[in-house]
Copies of this chain bind each other. A is one copy, B any other.
Amino acid sequence: MKSTDSFIDTFNDCVDLFMRRSMRSFFQYTKGIGLSMPQIGALFHLNRGSTSGISNIGDDLGVTTAAASQMLDRLVQQELILRSEDPDDRRVKNIILTDKGRKILEDILHVRQAWLEDLSTALSAGEKEQIIAALKILIAKADQIDPR
């Protein structure tokens, strides 16, 4: 399963590790509170501060606007979001997180980070600096080859 590129191999090891340790509890938690993958995708979209129109969310999730509209209905029913009319263009509905929605999103992110926090306390200050420096190179380069 190893390639000839040890950068790729190491990065993949890191992804596998992250998936197993951090994503597992993430999925368990979201399942526990009854949120589906698309719904989480929508919440994350909002959290990123991306444009909040229905069709934007649909595009982002790769589904039709109709599908997005229906899925958001369920989030409205759960009182995690609100539809509000855009004053500039009354055709568009801006989706905004309710306090409850913001709280749940925070919890979700926090659960995903529990493992990361353990890791952070286990690392020495020097190790952390080294890792931060390396990851920043990686982020900068990624931005460079495909900016957004």
> Which of A13-21, A64-72, A73-81, A89-97 sits within the interface?
A13-21
Interface size of A as a range: 35 or more
Complex contact B120–A8 (CB within 8 A): yes
Neighbouring B residues of A127 by C-beta, 8 Å: 137, 141
Are A113 and B12 also in contact (CB < 8 A) when A119-B138, A123-B141, A138-B131 are? yes
Complex contact B117–A141 (CB within 8 A): no
Q: How far is the CA of A137 from the CA of B11 in the complex (A)?
A: 12
- The proximity string for A residues 103-135 relative to B, scoring 1 for CB distances below 8 Å and 0 otherwise, is 000000000010111111011000110111111
Q: Does A88 contact B (CB under 8 A)?
A: no
> Looking at the complex, which one of B10, B20, B139 makes contact with A132 (CB distance below 8 Å)?
B10
Complex contact A122–B145 (CB within 8 A): yes
Closest approach, in angstroms, between the C-beta of A71 and any C-beta of chain B?
15
Neighbouring B residues of A122 by C-beta, 8 Å: 141, 144-145
Of all chain B residues, the one with the shortest Cβ separation from A136 is B10
Complex contact A7–B128 (CB within 8 A): yes
> Looking at the complex, which one of B5, B14, B62, B130 makes contact with A133 (CB distance below 8 Å)?
B130
Q: Does A31 contact B (CB under 8 A)?
A: yes
Q: How far is the CA of A122 from the CA of B37 in the complex (A)?
A: 32
Q: How far is the CA of A21 from the CA of B139 in the complex (A)?
A: 11
